[in-house]
Amino acid sequence: MPITVGEQVPDVEVRTLVQGAPVVVRTGEVLGRGRVVLFAVPGAFTPTCSDHHLPGFILRRDELAEKGVDTVACLSVNDAYVMGAWGRSQRVEDTIVMLGDGNGEFTRAMGLEVDLAGAGLGLRSKRYAAIIEDGIITSLFVESAGLDVSSAESVLKAL
């Protein structure tokens, strides 16, 4: 069952790349302090994710900060190396925290997994964005198809 507004963000281990090495971080720490925008994608380097979703948050990072967002995080069911390489290719630098949910544990805890085995992708995350305030989900935008409700522009409007 998908997580709902008003619930605590799950606290599980994910990984991020630091100086070329994967580092374990807890989502409760990364996503649990201040005002956070989390967006999740079905896969790094995939067309919609690389051409629109991640670039939108990169371009609008300053606008998000102006609205009081302390952290912007991107999560995918990929390993930390893939997320790091994707971040480098998109020139994320330190503007967005790139989180690898390689085993899909956070995605399952959120109840937002999708089976894309038919396309050769296996278990992945649905495309979504969430506004999180001190660890509590205050808004959740889950896509049914495409990129509409979870875009940076949509999140900005909700803030």
The residues that are catalytic are: 49
CA distance 128 to 141: 5
Task: Let me know: does 39 contact 53? Beta carbons within 8 Å.
Answer: yes
CA distance 136 to 155: 16
Q: Which residue is it, tokens 């900060």? A: 65
**Amino acid occupying residue 27:** T
Phi-psi region of 45 (alpha: psi -120 to 50; beta: other; left: phi over 0): left
